[in-house]
Structure 1
Amino acid sequence: MSTPDDPAGDGGVVAALEEHLLGETPWLTQEEVAERAGVPLATANELWHLLGFAHVPDDEAAFTTADVRALQLTNDLIRLGILSQERQDGLVRTWGRSFARLADWQVALLASVAGELGADPTEGLLAISDEALPRVEELQSYVWRRHLLSASARLLAEQTSGPTASLAVCFVDIVGYTSRSRTLSDRELVSWLESFESTVLGLTVDRGGRIIKNIGDELLIVADSPEAMADLALELTRRGADPEDPFPAVRAGIAYGEVVTRLGDVFGPVVNIAARLTSVARPSSVLVDLGAYEALTGREDDESDEHTGTYRFRRLRRVSVKGYSRLKVWALQESPLQR
């Protein structure tokens, strides 16, 4: 309940966190921030919304000098031509989504640690953040720079192909997620999903692939090599089918071909086809499209089944899914010679 001395009704915790995390108590309105930064108010408001922050009343002192500096830096990037209007919307929106999700996870982690230490949730969160946040921030910057290096290397390698690249695209979907999630508490569900993503991440990185994003109980993965993607999908379905392995049962769909890459995401028919194949795959199975079949066998479309030294392909009846009628599909299995 709010009071004159505690308008937020939280015991002053949010105010303390504001000063702690932002460096000072908010004292500027959005108009004052824009004026000090030399940025039009409309532009400042647009950037604020793109970052995913809530609307602030015109007369509310909700900002600090850190917000002024952020606007100045953004304006510098616009002036240097780094952030055009088109890039500005996409990049800033991506920043907002990514950091919002990261912040939610980090705050939940710190609050959990405070609870385990038996500290008061509010005071404990402040104390732990004072010790942990500088280290988290430094580590975060290190990880970002490492990924920036990897992304730069990929960009240089694909420079001749423009914004498109030939990639193997795979969706991996947990079988029976809805029914399983109903039996778990919120904490157990989060732990289960994090364990799933952690396992997939390790196997993906080992094969030179990368996870683009998670969509609920589904992961979108890409790899330069169709063989690496096939090996990954077969390993995931094998582990999911093993009753002794805690890894959940999954199904997967793989497509190969030209995709559009933008801001760390991938788009195009190849991505759509991989998603559609996953939706019709049976539990513990891997389906591949014509592009993946040809890349893995070195042969053009063939109506018969196919065996290679590494894989076995079983031709299925053509599949009709949303947006695509009569897709050519094969079930991918590990060759008996590889077992």
Structure 2
Amino acid sequence: MSDGSVPGGNDLERALLGQEPTFTAAEVAARAGLPESQLRRIWRTLGFPERGDDRAYNEDDLEAMSLLAQLVEDGLFDYDLVLNVVRGAGLSMARLADWEVGTLIQRIEDVFVDRVGPGSPSEATDWLFGAYGDSFDRLLLYTWRRHVAAAVARIDLMRAVDADPHTTHLTVGFADIVGFTALSNELTRDKIGDLVEIFETRCGDVIAANSGRLIKTMGDAVLFVNDDPLAAYATAEGIIHVVGRDKRMPDVRIGLATGSVVFRLGDVYGPPVNLAARLTQVARRNRMIVDQATADGLPADQIETRPLPARPMRGFGVMEPLTTRRL
């Protein structure tokens, strides 16, 4: 019976996981203390394909499901919260894994040839994780704990000022590449990949330098937040400087909007998010456009704002966006 893996992928999967699949879904559910229907849904929510009744699960899968079952039994989580947690973890880890494999796979195979000799991709993977797997695990855990500490600190700060711990007042920025679709049709796949990587890296560096937070990247766009309008303005200026004014890079446009937002599963939601994206459609090349709330938060002795003609903004009615310039 097939184990449900992609043809030709079994050796790679076993080399990476380090274990043979020995359990069916029903066996894992019974040993973990979960209804089989719940276990199958958790598995899908993590982002993995259904494996039917095949023996496609190993000891680590059993341990992970047992941990989740114990959290429910202890009353820390209920089933719906388990699904939210694993959905966030699955989405984040899938993106990270795709990026790492795409970035590192050729380097790993080259290093394996240099140090060990010719071999298959599964042998290179087995060698890498045998030699450095613990280091990768520790680095990932370190990064996660650091981000949890930062998230808890943000919630504590909001509680300290009697705010709702699920919402906060921020300036949201949306920066996108002008004419990305046309560029995609003109450039090779490799060049488009290089352009997107440079764009995301430069934006990330500027956002971090201005004490902002990069929420997500979308290939031709980035979404970020800052604690106040002036910091967001500096972030937008920096992105225009390092991307839009580099002759080797395409132009960018940026929208800033300020207001209350909700953080959920690492993403941010609320009217300012949607408005910032709408404002980019108004901005000229290598310029930023802001809403009135952002303009009100900018120091008049440093930043001049000027209203543009009123226009309809989908979902917001007729609005007057504002252009800006530093004095």
- State the AA in 2 paired with 1:90: N
| Superposition pairs of residues 203-214 of structure 1, within 5 angstroms | 203-214=206-217
Matched, 1:198 2:201: yes
**Residue 323 of structure 1 corresponds to which residue in structure 2?**
315
1:154 aligns with 2:151: no
Task: Single out whichever of 187-196 and 33-42 deviates more from structure 2.
Answer: 187-196
- Specify whether residues 320 and 8 from structure 1 end up closer, same or farther in structure 2 by C-alpha distance, changes over 3 A only: closer
What residue number does 1:300 align with? none
Range that drifts further, 181-190 or 230-239: 181-190
1:130–1:183 distance in 2 versus 1, CA, 3 Å: farther
Q: Verify: 1:66 aligned to 2:60, yes or no.
A: yes
Q: Gaps (5+ residues) in structure 2? A: none
The answer to whether structure 1 residue 57 and structure 2 residue 55 are counterparts is no
Any residues of structure 2 matched to 1:1-339 within 5 Å, and which? 10=8, 14-58=9-53, 60-117=54-111, 118=113, 119-122=118-121, 123-159=123-159, 160-162=162-164, 163-244=166-247, 246-297=248-299, 308-335=300-327
Q: Aligned in 2, Cα 1:75/1:112: closer, same or farther, shift over 3 Å?
A: same
- Higher relative CO (Cα under 8 Å, sequence separation at least 6) belongs to 2
Question: What SS does the corresponding residue of 2:186 show, helix, strand or coil?
Answer: coil
Q: What's the secondary structure of 2:230's corresponding residue?
A: helix
Aligned to 1:305: none
Aligned-pair identity (%): 33
CA shift at 1:257, angstroms? Answer: 1.0
Distance 1:236 1:72 in 2: 46
Distance 1:233 1:222 in 2: 11
C-alpha separation in 1, matches of 2:282 and 2:119? 49
Tell whether the 8 Å contact from 2:16 to 2:125 is kept in structure 1 after alignment.
Answer: no
Structure 2 length normalisation: TM-score?
Answer: 0.89
Counterpart AA for 2:163: S
CA contact 1:51–1:92 (8 Å) conserved in 2 = yes
- The answer to whether the 8 Å contact 1:110/1:129 transfers is no
- Shift of residue 120, structure 1, vs aligned partner: 4.0
Gaps of 5+ in 1: 298-307
SS across alignment from 1:253? strand
Indicate conservation of the 8 Å contact 1:114/1:120, yes or no.
no
Q: Helix, strand or coil: the match of 2:50?
A: coil
Cα distance change of structure 1 residues 116 and 20 upon mapping to structure 2, 3 Å threshold? closer
Distance in 2 (CA, whole Å) between partners of 1:49 and 1:313 is 49
Judge conservation of contact 2:254–2:288 (CA < 8 Å) in 1: yes
Kindly tell me the number of residue pairs found equivalent between the two proteins: 315
